[in-house]
Amino acid sequence: MAALNCPSIKFYTSAAKLNECPSSSSEVAFAGRSNAGKSSAINAITEQKGLARTSKTPGRTQLINFFEISHEKFLVDLPGYGFAKVPLGVKNLWQKELEKYLRQRQQLNGLILLSDVRHPLKEFDRSIINWAKESDLPIHILLTKADKLKHGAATNTLLEISKEQTIKGRVSVQLFSALKGNGIKEVRKLLADWLFL
């Protein structure tokens, strides 16, 4: 099984709409609320501090960003949803393009959903999980910012969500901390499995 060659992963292009997305043979997308720590997670997983832009203002990712792993294999950073301080019309447009990408992108092999372990699985998170289950698309939930909770509390949240979500569909769940590096190896292995099928 191929492994991710993190130093060689690079930004490839951004797309505002589905029809602007590049030719691809295989990709895994990262989705999550605007304050879930998506950019930090991508940077930690790829060992590149500035690959995905992090900001103190949630909602900076307004385009579908493609990071090339190898020829026509991509990690995809989807626009954050929910918390972003942007006009409602812009927010609705993002959501429309996000849904279009998820429903129509044939090359999508899996979805990484990021959710803050302290406030896990809001309404839109659950709608994405349900959509993935119905579409038989594997989805892996990263409970981010695990370093912000005591180990026992974080583990309890993990167990609750695992029990609730893994009954039906191809769903897996883990704790993750970009700051401490917890869970990075597991995500890299999963990404390699999905990208190099």
DSSP 52: S
At residue 34, does pLDDT exceed 90?
A: no
The confidence score (pLDDT) of residue 55 equals 54
Structure confidence by residue, pLDDT tens digits, 113-167 = 999 999 999 888 898 898 888 888 999 999 999 999 999 999 999 999 999 887 6
For residues 185 and 170, what is the distance between their CA atoms, to the nearest angstrom? 20
Structure tokens at 54: 């992090």
Model pTM? 0.90
Burial 46-58 (b: 16+ CB within 10 A, else e): bebeebbebeeeb
For residues 39 and 44, what is the distance between their CA atoms, to the nearest angstrom? 9
Unique residue bearing structure tokens 């959903």: 113
Question: Topology of 6-195 in CATH?
Answer: Rossmann fold (3.40.50)
Given pLDDT bands bounded at 50, 70 and 90, which one contains residue 94?
A: low
Helix (H) / strand (E) element for 67: namely strand 64-70
The confidence score (pLDDT) of residue 4 equals 85
The confidence score (pLDDT) of residue 6 equals 84
Helix (H) / strand (E) element for 122: namely none
